[in-house]
Amino acid sequence: MADNKSSKSIGNSNTLVCIDSYIHGVMTGSFFNAGTGKREEFESAVEFLLKMQKVLEELKTPQSFNEMRHFIPPATIELSPSSDEEKHTGELATFSIRILFRQNASWQGSVMWLEGKQEESFRSVLELIILMHSALSSE
């Protein structure tokens, strides 16, 4: 017999990232993860990464292989509910990110640039940001 209480965490490691602007290397936009059903807005790569980490911790998938270290207690980031009517494409670019592992205090997975119809694997958050930058710079 199937257990439905774990359905929230299985298969929901895909996140749609919508980039609305990329000015002087600063990306702004939003991301949507079906596992939470929430849309998050961000105004920088750092804000994107912090909010994305919060969502991954909330979903507990993929499970982190180490505990995050902090200088001070982390700030609480409020997650806002999303409407099904909201668009899920960026004005400039849209990426589908699949995080398979969270090892060595980073993320590993694949990113698909939907407009460019290209997919690449990444071995770290830095490599993910560099791949996104290369797509955004070519626009």
pLDDT in tens, 101-123: 999 889 999 999 999 999 999 99
- Comparing 131 with 81, the larger pLDDT belongs to 131
Mean pLDDT calculated for residue range 31-58:
93
Alpha helices (runs of H) in the chain, residue ranges in sequence order:
45-59, 125-138
User: Tokens 């960026």, residue?
Assistant: 90
Contact 96, 14 (CB under 8 A): yes
Q: Taking the C-alpha atoms of 96, 100, 103 and 105 in order, what is their torsion angle to the nearest 10 degrees?
A: 20
Average pLDDT, the chain: 82
More confident residue, 37 or 132: 132
Residue 75 has a pLDDT of 52
pTM comes to 0.76
Helical pair 125-138 and 45-59, crossing angle rounded to 10 deg: 130
Q: Are 39 and 82 in contact (CB under 8 A)?
A: yes
Distance of alpha carbon 29 from alpha carbon 104, whole angstroms: 27
